[in-house]
Amino acid sequence: MSETVSTPQKTNLLNLDSEGLKAFCASIGEKPFRAVQLERWIHRKGVSDFDQMTNLAKSFRAKLAEIAEIKGPEVIKDSTASDGTRKWLLDAGEGNAVEMVFIPEENRGTLCISTQAGCAMNCLFCSTGKQGFSRNLKTSEIIGQLWTAEHLLRKDRGITDENERVISNVVLMGMGEPLQNLNAVVPALKLMLDDNAYGLSRRRVTVSTSGLVKQIDKLAQICPVALAVSLHAPNNELRDKIMPVNRKHPLEDVLAACKRYLKYAPRDFITFEYIMIGGVNDSLAQAKQLITLVQDLPCKFNLIPFNPFPDSGLQRSKEEDVKAFAKRLNDAGIVCTIRKVRGDDISAACGQLAGEIKDRTKLSSRRAEREIVIKEISRLSQAPLE
Ligand code: SAH
Ligand code: SF4
């Protein structure tokens, strides 16, 4: 009979924020300053081999090699669009893969990262949502995206100075609903902000949510960063149909949570994302309703022309309709920008991130439901709103 030898699992240090690293070091009899040294080697320098951590005692390095590892997600595919936008497909185990996107601009570099394999929120207009939900990503897989991208990009550009960063902004706008995975997301956010890791300011780290009310309040308490809320409809009737989460957290509750968040937020406004879907939510009557809806809340709008994906059954708004909608908001004193479509030729735009998800939810019944909803919303948009 063969004997089964179980090897104890190594601790992946990418799962630990600075507090976690201190606790880990304490558990093996090492002082807190060792945790700081480790954090700097891992996150500031991007080193994963303990032997290269030359200011750590040899015995400590040997112990680390025995019980710990530094392992980011594995890159499966790496593509660059004609506009410089770069997308990576990352292995998330068990047949799942998630995506992250780097968007270079003149004076900043933004990394858009994923927080879940798939998404359970089932928004009608979203390719990730269409695939269903598989699992939450771990902290190591979330901060591992920034760790991988920052150090790969530095290497590509020949940057050796650890104070020179390529990524200046991080947005949690990839696959998944970040606030449904707060336990893993918060330590990752803390590392993004930590001076011994990435040292980003709270204003340059943005969490985007479909509007989970309790979790917005929780984020305000434990790690307030910039908040973007996906609004996408000016009334509950339409939002219920295109974002099922609205049936549980209607607009008035989401807006009240935004107001509470402002007391803790690093910015004095909330960003609202608003997809422009042709004939669904893009009329001037709907713009007017939106203005009334947010009149008591300091906010900015980011209009995102709908990015199509196979079998979405929806269309992007016409350019002139997007401009007219934006003008109506601007005229009412609301700052409003129209998001440029980036990385279109590699499907790296908002809501196009698909990865490969082994769905564990009822995909076929959801597909049938989608078809019914699409018929209903086109009827809704034809009815006069006022
Ligand atoms: N789950 C979070 C964050 C990920 S989605 C959220 O929903 O906010 C990031 C943004 O992309 C959201 O505003 C989302 O509504 C938008 N989005 C989803 N599908 C899209 C599509 N097909 N075209 C344009 N934007 C899309
Ligand atoms: Fe999930 Fe956001 Fe897509 Fe909705 S838009 S399905 S919340 S990822």
Q: What secondary structure does DSSP assign to 95-111, as a single string?
A: T-EEEEEEEE-SS-EEE
Residue in 30, 39, 99, 177 annotated catalytic: 99
Contact between residue 293 and residue 239 where contact means Cβ atoms under 8 Å apart: no
Cα(353) to ligand 1 centroid in Å equals: 9
CA-based nearest residue to 336, from 274, 243, 282, 379: 274
Angle formed at CA 122 by CA 72 and CA 353, multiple of 5 degrees: 40
175 pLDDT band, cuts 50/70/90, is very high
Q: Is-catalytic flag, 164?
A: no
Q: Which residue's alpha carbon is at the smallest distance from atom 18 of ligand 1?
A: 351
The residues near 226 (Cβ < 8 Å, ≥ 6 apart) are 202, 203, 204, 205, 206, 207, 265, 266, 267, 271
* Model pLDDT, residue 206: 98
- Asked whether residue 266 carries a pLDDT value surpassing 90, the answer given is yes
Other CB atoms within 10 A of residue 16 CB? 24
Higher pLDDT, 380 or 312: 312
Cα(91) to ligand 1 centroid in Å equals: 22
pLDDT (tens digit per residue) in 17-43: 999 999 999 999 999 999 999 999 999
* Model pLDDT, residue 55: 95
Q: Is the CB of 176 under 6 A from ligand 2?
A: yes
Q: Which atom of ligand 2 is found nearest the CA of 126?
A: 3
Q: Which residues line ligand 1 (CB under 6 A)?
A: 125-126, 173, 177, 208-210, 230, 273, 275, 304, 306-307, 350-351
Contact between residue 113 and residue 123 where contact means Cβ atoms under 8 Å apart: no
- Distances in Å between the alpha carbon of 347 and those of 96, 115, 303, 337? 18, 19, 19, 22
Q: What percentage of the chain has pLDDT greater than the value 70?
A: 91
- Asked whether residue 383 carries a pLDDT value surpassing 60, the answer given is no
Beta-ladder partners of 88: 78, 100
Residues 331-339 have a mean pLDDT of 96
pLDDT (tens digit per residue) in 348-362: 776 666 677 776 666
Contact between residue 190 and residue 184 where contact means Cβ atoms under 8 Å apart: no
Q: Is the CB of 121 under 6 A from ligand 2?
A: yes
What is the helix (H) or strand (E) element at residue 251, kind and residue range? helix 251-262
Residue in 112, 123, 223, 350 annotated catalytic: 350
382 pLDDT band, cuts 50/70/90, is low
Higher pLDDT, 363 or 114: 114
The ligand minimizing its distance to the Cα of 118 is 2
* Model pLDDT, residue 78: 95
1 pLDDT band, cuts 50/70/90, is very low
Residue 131: what are its φ and ψ, rounded to 5°? -85, -10
* Model pLDDT, residue 375: 77
Give the integer Cα–Cα distance in Å for 176 and 142.
11
- The region of weakest confidence among 15-24, 92-101, 218-227, 281-290 is 92-101
7 pLDDT band, cuts 50/70/90, is low
386 pLDDT band, cuts 50/70/90, is very low
Give the integer Cα–Cα distance in Å for 377 and 145.
37
Angle formed at CA 228 by CA 198 and CA 83, multiple of 5 degrees: 70
Q: Is-catalytic flag, 99?
A: yes
Which amino acid, residue 199? G
Q: Which residue's alpha carbon is at the smallest distance from atom 26 of ligand 1?
A: 351
Instruction: Name the pairing type of β-strands 205-209 and 226-230.
Output: parallel
What 4-13 contacts at long range (C-beta under 8 Å, 24+ apart), as own/partner pairs, is 8/67, 10/67, 10/68, 10/69, 11/67, 11/68, 11/69, 12/68, 12/69, 12/70, 12/71, 12/138, 12/140, 13/38, 13/42, 13/68, 13/69, 13/70
Cα(3) to ligand 1 centroid in Å equals: 50
* Model pLDDT, residue 352: 67
Which of 208, 219, 243 most suits a substitution to test ligand 1, by most atoms within 8 Å of the C-beta? 208
pLDDT (tens digit per residue) in 282-318: 999 999 999 999 999 999 999 999 998 888 999 999 9
The HSE-up count of residue 236 (CA atoms within 13 Å, CB side) is 10
Beta-ladder partners of 255: none
Which of 177, 229, 275, 309 most suits a substitution to test ligand 2, by most atoms within 8 Å of the C-beta? 177
Q: Which atom of ligand 1 is found nearest the CA of 306?
A: 23
Which of 124, 171, 210, 248 most suits a substitution to test ligand 2, by most atoms within 8 Å of the C-beta? 210
Cα(333) to ligand 1 centroid in Å equals: 25
* Model pLDDT, residue 351: 65
Instruction: Name the pairing type of β-strands 299-305 and 335-338.
Output: parallel
Q: Which atom of ligand 2 is found nearest the CA of 128?
A: 3
The ligand minimizing its distance to the Cα of 131 is 2
Residues 44-55 have a mean pLDDT of 97
Residue 147: what are its φ and ψ, rounded to 5°? -60, -50
Q: Which residue's alpha carbon is at the smallest distance from atom 4 of ligand 2?
A: 123
Q: Is the CB of 123 under 6 A from ligand 2?
A: yes
